[in-house]
Structure 1
Amino acid sequence: MYLIGVDVGGTNTDSALLSLVPKHRNSASRGVIASSKTPTTPDITSGITGAISAVLEKSKVEKSSILSVTIGTTHFVNAVVEADERRLSKVAVVRLCGLSTRQVPPFSDYPIGLKRIMAGPVYYLDGGLEIDGREILPLNEAQIEETIIEIKTQGITKVALVGVFSPLDHAGIHEERCRELMLKHAPHLDVICSHSIGGVGLLERENATILNASILAVARSTVNGFKRAMKELKLACPLFLTQNDGTLTGADEAVKLPIKTFASGPTNSMTGAAFLAGLDKPRLAGDASTTGQVLVVDIGGTTTDICALLPSGFPRQAPNFVEVEGVRTAFSMPDVLSVGLGGGSLINVDDKGVVSVGPGSVGHHLTTKSLVFGGQIMTSTDIVVAAGKEEIGKVEMAESIPEGTVQGARQAIRKILQRAVEDMKVSSAPVTVLLVGGGSIVYMDDLEGVEYCLIPPHHDSANAVGAAIAKISGEVDLIEILEGRDEIAVVKAASESAIVVAIGKGADPADVKIVEIDKIPLQYVSNKATRIRVKAIGRLLAQEAGENLVFLDEPSLEDPNENGHEAEKKAALADGHRTLTKPSLDIDIPSYRPEIENNVWFLSEVDLEFIACGTGILGTGGGGPSYLAYLVALDALRKGGKRSMQVVSPDYLKDDDLVCFGSWYGAPSVSGERIPCGIEIPSAIDASNKILGVQNFHAVLADEIGGGNGLATFPTSVHYHRPTVDGDLMGRAYPSMEHGTPYVYGHPIAPCTLADSKGNISVVMSAESNAKLEKMLRATCIELGLFTAVVGRPLSGAVIKEYVIPNTISQAWYLGRAIHVARKAKTSFTGAIFEVMPGRVLFTGKIIDVQRDVSKGGYTIGRCLLSPLYDKELDGESEVTAETRHLVIPFQNEFLYAAYTDEAGIAETEVVCTVPDLISILGEDGEAIGSQELRYGLRVTVIGIAAHPLWTGDERGLKVGGPEYFGLEMKWKSIGEYTMPRGVIAEFR
């Protein structure tokens, strides 16, 4: 039996025919019997037909022995990369949320060019769920009908439907019912439900749903082309497309969810390159070609895709979110960087003679529009020929290109590749490049830091090979009540269901294996409700007949005037994929100075970006997501204007000044999904001040600097035109109100006010103890959906100066700046961190288990288990770890302690750090990973930072902030002596 893999790129269509016979697989060609490269045709069909016909003709293989045809394509992602208005639809966004989620509207973090093309009207309708499954509000049919009428009036046909917590209801009841009502009034609409796209994390899931809706027309046209090719070739075997994770999906399913195939081209290239290079086979000792870091560089006709490979040959996985051309989405996929460079990239020379390359491309018109093929457009392929690197087409046509243009284009191409390689490196170790793809000829000049450049056999068909070797997957995602049930049996049943799904899709029953199990308990519910996700994978089983090739209605994407949209396209490309959420990209960070005047620090957008990164580290796993809070703060600064966001030192306060607080209170898993509406914190402060008769106050202060709460005070300061004090009441994140340092030392919390997005306000006037007050607040918070604003009693300047943890906003700023500097310089981010504050690395490893419902000391906490990195996993890092022990980190939102343990995580041998000292888990880019973001496979570094003496120098601090409070039978284990953070105001004034 044989497999055919096809990759349909923007320029070329590649195909490969692979034998399943072991002796062929073990040969130098790795079982590739034949491969072919043909130009991608405008109608797609003839290109695929030609590519498959070519390998069948070369191999003389009978069509009846073809097990399957699997296609990977970059058509969908190319439409986004090129910001092509002809192939991207405008999308209306409907959120089922009630009054919540409005503080971060749709398209908030979209790049400027894509937002201009895709952003349609936005609607906030009744509906959505709380984390425990209760309705935020029932669906309102009249509201839905009114919305549909307005959408129809605007001529929009694509709708992204996003319900709060829709993924936790695997039936997507609100989204599906709303979709049904929409189609009742407008059957022509394409309504995409977000629960079918991604998991919990509203903004990331919404972004992906919008992208999916925008490319539906391209998906229909493309897949119909695939089907026509199968019909013309008279192939009866099944037709599959490859997905982002390298597995297969049926063609009709891919039409509905094209975003799940978005990164299939790069993924196929990475797995195909590794397979062709033999990285799946044992390496010989001392094989210099695979020492250090291995990067696959796949250059096509339109884009270049780069991914780092693990020694196993599998691509390194991305963190918990992936940016697709600047759009933040929540997908589990290889960490692939795509840039607009390929064999068909346009070469432009401006009036001053400056040469630029891409991101525009002639794509599949390369063989008719480029100079060497008799056309009138200069492309990167023409530059390769003019430079004497290749003889392609009519060589003499490239000889007319001025030498200055050739050299300028070569420099621009090298700069694009150099920057892309630097962005994907994780250390300064030498790089081995596996160069694949039909456009690999544009890699003309050596790159700094690249020691070896290897071109494996059939390198120009690596995408097609990767598609051919893809497997079938089956996945189940459901909510189960575990109270009174055998958890092992429940997970086993879910695993069996995933295997059945995989087999039902065509996997070989003898080969199916469970590759992923994820258990996510719903926080603060009493029945042990748990989300269980299981994934199974197996090789394709031979089938005798193919699927019924049903063709779908599609709008015409042909443009009678190919230049008719050039103005719009140029406008989008003028902004490229620049995003306004990363202002640090536009500055030289080491020379940047914050604005200080009269002992007041006026925050800039760059300052906010640094602080957001630092608050994640100080969050020690909790505090809520910093990214959403950063978007809110950034919007508040832009609306308030320059100098509207001010920070002052604690000693700036007079003793009788009043300082107010305002922060978010609830569960991190809720705050990333049920985004606030923006009235919550001011409503709580106003209610508190009204009760106490406070007519005026002088500043605001963060309850905790960690996570999103470290940024929550900034929009509040703009709202009230009051400065924020450089400090907080914890120096980190903690799970309860009673963890504020003034409260630990006897100052009152009450009256304490809670407010939600619906206008509900609850006040605890007094309580017998801080612990009792916390229980009262928590009970109300659960009733209000586990996400509210909380405000404690205003405190005087004298109390703040005595009990504040000083300079923690500055500390976050220094941490964030250090991470950004290290990231650009490709130096150690832990080294950069410890240059600005004392601390140490506790462990470097990978997460191999995450449990979120573990009983310990009478408390229910989570637990993360890490294994050390061994020689083959170090990616060429200079110091090979000798560590053989594992590390366990229990958490209750925040990380509680770190201890060495055995590989099962049972026999703890040595505690290395505990609360109140700070334990943070950092990803490979230096960004902090919250407890809600922990997942199997992430490579991480664990660091420890000393706590302030208010926590460690007195038994009262240790009693509330140390192990005893969390039911842990251990003493505080310090990592070192505390040093007060530097103050930005003192240093830069």
Structure 2
Amino acid sequence: MYRIGVDVGGTNTDAAILDVTAYDTPSRGVLASVKTSTTPNITTGVQDSIDQVIAKSGVQKNDVLSVTIGTTHFVNAVVEADARRLTKVAVVRLCGPFTKQIPPFSDFPADLKDIVNGGTYYVDGGLEIDCREIVPVDPMQVRETLAKIVSTGITTICLVGVFSPLDHAGLHEERCKNIMLEANPAVTIVCSHNIGTIGLLERENATILNASILAVARKTFRSFSKAMLNLGLRCPLYITQNDGTLTDVATASETPVKTFASGPTNSMIGAAFLAGLDKSRTANLETEDELSGKQILVVDVGGTTTDVCALLPSGFPRQAPNFVEVGGVRTAFSMPEVCSLGLGGGSRVHQDEKTGDVTVGPNSVGHFLTSQALVFGGDVMTSTDIVVASKKQILGDPKLASHILPEILTAARRRIKKMLEGVIDDMKVSSAPVTVLLVGGGSIIHMDDLENVAEVIRPPHHDGANAVGAAIAKVAGEIDVIEILHESDEKAAIARLSQAAIDAAVQRGALRESVKIVRIEKLPLAYVTDRSTRIIITAVGSLAPPNPSTSLNPLLAAVDSMAELDAEDETEAPKEAKSSTPSGSPVKPSLDIDIPTYRPTVRRHVWYLSEVDIEFIACGTGVLGTGGGGTSYYAMLHALDVLRRTGQGKMRVISLKALQDDDRVGFGSYYGAPSAMNEKISSGTEIQTAIDTLDRVLGNKGFNALLADEIGGGNGLAAFPVGSHYDRPVIDGDAMGRAYPTMEHSTLYIYGQPIVPCAIADGKGNVSVVMSAESNARVETMLRTTSIDLGLTTAVVACPLPGSAVKQLAIPNTVSQAWYLGRAIHMARKAKTSIMKAIFDVNPGKLLFSGKIVDLSRGIAGGYTIGKVLLSPLLADEKDEDSVASQSSATTATATDSFSHISIVFQNEYLYARRADAEGIEGEILCTVPDLISILDQDGEAVGSQDLKYGLKVHVIGMPAHPLWTSKQKALDVGGPKYFGLDMEWTSVGEYTIPRSVIDDFNSEEI
């Protein structure tokens, strides 16, 4: 009853063998572990490591239950944009008229796009958020599309159906796949519902990457299979995945993208197991209840880097929030949240000749440690030499490091200690002491006690934790659906879905009696009135032993059939993944410019937008989104695509003062729910359809300029492509100065201008016109009902207004405000200076708090997502230049030390910020709507309320609202706290000043 785990790294291949009947022993059943150099030929390297560990343990091969292998081989092909290992992929979207606003490959780096882009095709199909069909699949259209693809020489296809993950069988994608395979069995097809979850662009990107590495993945797994065949092993072969679970080799061959981060995850899982965290009682941790209240961090020290990950009470790593970039491509699938540091056993130690300062890393001798380090006869001082010279370990020849000066030893040890404390603090979520599980071959560099660390556990076989993690990896089943919940059936729905997750785990090979639910996450959807909630449930269990009454293992026949594999099937060893800036990133044009000297193009008071301007504005609209307004990222991709196709001249901005009183100003914004619009991406025609319809109804002949309904979030950029379509300018201003949840939250309508007649349209050409209503609130409910019926991916266009009214009632210069905010953030980020100082140099406001999210709750009321987030303060060592001021910014004479936290309530947008204690009991009010409250991550990117995650380190800022919101009670009645049911008065963070104008600052009278 033995299991073997193997982890194939760029430098070393580790292997371990465990006795599954001896997990309760001090060694946790580990009989033997070995570390060998990764060979140029993977087959040989894996074979040698398994052979050695079997020989070392004395186990008979027939008694081995399974072999599990983890590798980071495939991610390197993407990171390095290696054309030799990547295949061109055709993308077929099942979407009907939708999603064309953002084509596939839109955010791929240029070099990677050139390698893998095999064309884009749109066909009928796809689902609404409630699983209604957008349009049925058309078999003839599918066959015609396949013929076009094959005629270009492309044979690898990825199918991406709108909302396909919500349909358990991936009905449309699978039907389309079957039609294609019937017509041409030689093509290779990957369905997106097998790769990722909701969020079409990120799931599509991951599916493209998966399809592009299929050939090299299959070759690699054939090599692993051949190694087992050569060894005479006839047990099942499994592959570890990013989330710490395993899958069979056949499935992994079809979804290699799910193995990208398996190496670090194996180390985390192995460390938790070796330390006994899976047991109810251990020598170090008393009970499971105690474990759930502890902070457990795994610190994995290698030769070059230290990786730190927080463990959940389930024993699995905390997952990275939101999306993950792989090779510069934005993707969304389960990846552990890992903080890496350039510190390892091979880190170079250097003393500056002038200052005498001692540094450790980030450069490393890597796998040349045994030839270049002093104790091994080399001439490079490394952290390992510091350990040996400090008499903490005996390695090589200690005499060769005896000449290191005591002051260098002291300084280097102090530096190593400080670096470890820093990376550990980065992963903390509270000031509570931490238990550190120290693993990895380089873990000997830990020599001194660490501050705020309760204990450091170096478990047995710590240097082989990655292989142990592979050997004991479990099987998972996950359910990710959207349910319409009612008070009477929520518990029943959770129970039903939990059982489905358990059944899925068992079907994948888990022992039923071992399966437990480890995650239940409920995410209410915004802007819906039927309590639609996305529910994610994960069940995990131990791998069941093979059933002797059936075939020894499903892979055996496949392994035997590969006995004649020749040299062509050998795969080169993986190289260390490179960390580099994406080449030719289409979403980061500012990387190629000197930001301080960049000047936008403004001629005769008309601002002609460039790609860099769009990037800056998108960043700024995120800040002004105050937690809502939808994603600026998708809107930026759309605007960039239109700008590149139509040229710079048509996308332009004018100031409010350039309007004539009798000019007709048009409006238009996307309207629905971010949860729907990020999946069923707009067609790009919705606003134009609504504008044209309203013009026909009113008998208008176009308009002179466009004004954004809200500058916050995605709608802050929505007017630019529309203005380009009609060849009309966009006004430097908007009707909110921020983001708000409803149409009636507009200064234009609060002060008496009409919303109606207004039109709502979708991408299929459905249009509804509201001619009149009893109140602005009634207009909102009528539009919301229609939007839900149309699938929540819609656009609304309100009644055009005269220039005289817009000049008086719009918030001025907010496009410029977004630009200046975005430029400031990008400039500070690039120069590595204070982002908060850069923001407040260009915009009035206040840093309210810097901290970590330690509690988060969400619910639905009146169709809107409501919730509260609690942030704890940063520790002294965690504070950077941006957060030092937060203590004084959020503290007044009436505050007490017990109110050291901050709580923020949101209804899509952030409504107020209050001081609080560690239990969430609230005190002093710091800021309320209509003033702007924004949450920014460490890089200055805005964090929407839908993206709040436990453990995220953030800054909270407040910015004053325009007097149109605060000078009249009727405006406060709509935009202030009481409108949202809050029993508090408006609390401001300061005095409003009109934002600077890009047009005025950079105008040139030259043509």
Give the TM-score, by structure 1 length.
0.79
Counterpart-to-counterpart distance in 2, 1:86 and 1:164 = 32
Residue in 1 that maps onto 2:34 = 36
Counterpart-to-counterpart distance in 2, 1:137 and 1:513 = 39
Residue in 2 that maps onto 1:348 = none
Residue in 1 that maps onto 2:803 = 797
Residue in 1 that maps onto 2:477 = 474
Residue in 1 that maps onto 2:336 = 334
Residue in 1 that maps onto 2:187 = 189
Structure 1 residues 342 and 871 mapped into 2: Cα distance closer, same or farther (>3 Å)?
A: closer
1:698 aligns with 2:704: yes
Alignment of 1:935-946 (within 5 A): 935-946=949-960
Contact 2:708 2:735 in 1 (8 A): yes
* 3-state DSSP of counterpart to 2:744: helix
Q: What do the CA deviations read for 1:668-711 (whole angstroms, capped 9, x no partner)?
A: 11211111222222332233334444445432211100110001
Alignment of 1:771-850 (within 5 A): 771-826=777-832, 829-835=835-841, 836-841=843-848, 844-846=851-853, 848-850=855-857
Residue in 1 that maps onto 2:402 = none
Alignment of 1:378-777 (within 5 A): 461=464, 463-483=466-486, 485-502=488-505, 505=508, 512-522=515-525, 527-538=530-541, 540=543, 547-549=553-555, 550-551=557-558, 577-695=583-701, 697-777=703-783
Structure 1 residue runs without a partner (length 5+): 284-290, 345-378, 393-419, 444-453, 564-568
After TM superposition, the structure 1 stretch with the greater mean CA deviation from structure 2, 88-97 or 151-160, is 151-160
Residue in 2 that maps onto 1:863 = 866
Structure 1 residues 828 and 71 mapped into 2: Cα distance closer, same or farther (>3 Å)?
A: farther
Q: 1:930 aligns with which of 939, 944, 951?
A: 944
Aligned amino acid, residue 492 of structure 1: A
Contact 1:847 1:865 in 2 (8 A): no
Q: 2:238 aligns with which of 237, 240, 244?
A: 240
Contact 1:949 1:978 in 2 (8 A): no
After TM superposition, the structure 1 stretch with the greater mean CA deviation from structure 2, 821-830 or 940-949, is 821-830
Shift in Å, 1:899: 5.4
Counterpart-to-counterpart distance in 1, 2:958 and 2:789 = 36
Counterpart-to-counterpart distance in 1, 2:668 and 2:902 = 36
Aligned amino acid, residue 839 of structure 1: K
Contact 1:518 1:533 in 2 (8 A): yes
Shift in Å, 1:892: 3.8
Counterpart-to-counterpart distance in 1, 2:566 and 2:215 = 8
1:972 aligns with 2:979: no
Q: 2:157 aligns with which of 156, 159, 172?
A: 159
Contact 2:300 2:443 in 1 (8 A): no
Q: 1:851 aligns with which of 852, 858, 861?
A: 858
Counterpart-to-counterpart distance in 2, 1:463 and 1:752 = 60
Shift in Å, 1:548: 2.7
Q: What do the CA deviations read for 1:918-952 (whole angstroms, capped 9, x no partner)?
A: 23333343322223334555444443333222122
Aligned amino acid, residue 15 of structure 2: S
Structure 1 residues 751 and 544 mapped into 2: Cα distance closer, same or farther (>3 Å)?
A: closer
Contact 2:89 2:211 in 1 (8 A): yes
Counterpart-to-counterpart distance in 1, 2:534 and 2:474 = 25
Residue in 2 that maps onto 1:265 = 263
Residue in 1 that maps onto 2:9 = 9
Structure 1 residues 701 and 63 mapped into 2: Cα distance closer, same or farther (>3 Å)?
A: same
Q: What do the CA deviations read for 1:604-657 (whole angstroms, capped 9, x no partner)?
A: 322221211121121122212111100111122222334543223322323333
Alignment of 1:111-260 (within 5 A): 111-235=109-233, 238-260=236-258
Counterpart-to-counterpart distance in 1, 2:484 and 2:602 = 55
Shift in Å, 1:798: 2.1
Residue in 1 that maps onto 2:99 = 101
Counterpart-to-counterpart distance in 1, 2:334 and 2:916 = 28
Counterpart-to-counterpart distance in 2, 1:319 and 1:70 = 27
* 3-state DSSP of counterpart to 1:738: coil
Counterpart-to-counterpart distance in 1, 2:648 and 2:528 = 44
Contact 2:976 2:986 in 1 (8 A): no
* 3-state DSSP of counterpart to 1:15: strand
Q: 1:962 aligns with which of 976, 998, 1004?
A: 976
Shift in Å, 1:979: 1.7
* 3-state DSSP of counterpart to 2:13: strand
Q: CA RMSD in A?
A: 4.7
Aligned amino acid, residue 209 of structure 2: L
Shift in Å, 1:222: 2.2
Structure 1 residues 386 and 42 mapped into 2: Cα distance closer, same or farther (>3 Å)?
A: closer
Q: What do the CA deviations read for 1:248-276 (whole angstroms, capped 9, x no partner)?
A: 22322222222111111233345557888
Contact 1:610 1:814 in 2 (8 A): yes
Contact 1:839 1:975 in 2 (8 A): no
Counterpart-to-counterpart distance in 1, 2:227 and 2:187 = 28
Q: What do the CA deviations read for 1:452-472 (whole angstroms, capped 9, x no partner)?
A: xx9999787553244235333
Residue in 2 that maps onto 1:360 = none
Structure 1 residues 533 and 509 mapped into 2: Cα distance closer, same or farther (>3 Å)?
A: same
* 3-state DSSP of counterpart to 1:737: coil
Structure 1 residues 560 and 234 mapped into 2: Cα distance closer, same or farther (>3 Å)?
A: closer
Residue in 2 that maps onto 1:416 = none
Counterpart-to-counterpart distance in 1, 2:62 and 2:224 = 19
Shift in Å, 1:240: 2.5
Structure 1 residues 603 and 488 mapped into 2: Cα distance closer, same or farther (>3 Å)?
A: same
Counterpart-to-counterpart distance in 2, 1:791 and 1:802 = 20
Counterpart-to-counterpart distance in 2, 1:425 and 1:722 = 53
1:318 aligns with 2:289: no
Q: 1:52 aligns with which of 50, 56, 59?
A: 50
Counterpart-to-counterpart distance in 1, 2:368 and 2:919 = 58
Q: What do the CA deviations read for 1:271-301 (whole angstroms, capped 9, x no partner)?
A: 5578889999979xxxxxxx9999757568x
Q: What do the CA deviations read for 1:783-804 (whole angstroms, capped 9, x no partner)?
A: 3222222222222222122111
Shift in Å, 1:149: 2.1
Contact 1:19 1:25 in 2 (8 A): no
Structure 1 residues 860 and 671 mapped into 2: Cα distance closer, same or farther (>3 Å)?
A: closer
Counterpart-to-counterpart distance in 2, 1:807 and 1:274 = 54
Shift in Å, 1:31: 7.6
Q: What do the CA deviations read for 1:66-116 (whole angstroms, capped 9, x no partner)?
A: 564321111221221232333222111111111111121111111112211
Q: What do the CA deviations read for 1:444-502 (whole angstroms, capped 9, x no partner)?
A: xxxxxxxxxx9999787553244235333332233444336332343234334434544
Aligned amino acid, residue 895 of structure 1: Y
Counterpart-to-counterpart distance in 1, 2:622 and 2:781 = 27
Contact 2:904 2:910 in 1 (8 A): yes
Shift in Å, 1:844: 2.9
After TM superposition, the structure 1 stretch with the greater mean CA deviation from structure 2, 581-590 or 57-66, is 57-66
Contact 2:296 2:437 in 1 (8 A): no
Structure 1 residues 498 and 274 mapped into 2: Cα distance closer, same or farther (>3 Å)?
A: closer
Structure 1 residues 731 and 79 mapped into 2: Cα distance closer, same or farther (>3 Å)?
A: same
After TM superposition, the structure 1 stretch with the greater mean CA deviation from structure 2, 791-800 or 329-338, is 329-338
* 3-state DSSP of counterpart to 1:170: coil
Q: What do the CA deviations read for 1:172-196 (whole angstroms, capped 9, x no partner)?
A: 2211222222222222332222122
Structure 1 residues 486 and 876 mapped into 2: Cα distance closer, same or farther (>3 Å)?
A: same
Alignment of 1:356-395 (within 5 A): none
Counterpart-to-counterpart distance in 1, 2:626 and 2:762 = 26
Structure 1 residues 128 and 777 mapped into 2: Cα distance closer, same or farther (>3 Å)?
A: same
Residue in 1 that maps onto 2:996 = 983
* 3-state DSSP of counterpart to 1:533: strand
Give the TM-score, by structure 2 length.
0.78
* 3-state DSSP of counterpart to 1:753: strand
Q: 2:909 aligns with which of 894, 901, 920?
A: 894
Counterpart-to-counterpart distance in 2, 1:173 and 1:510 = 31
Counterpart-to-counterpart distance in 2, 1:3 and 1:229 = 16
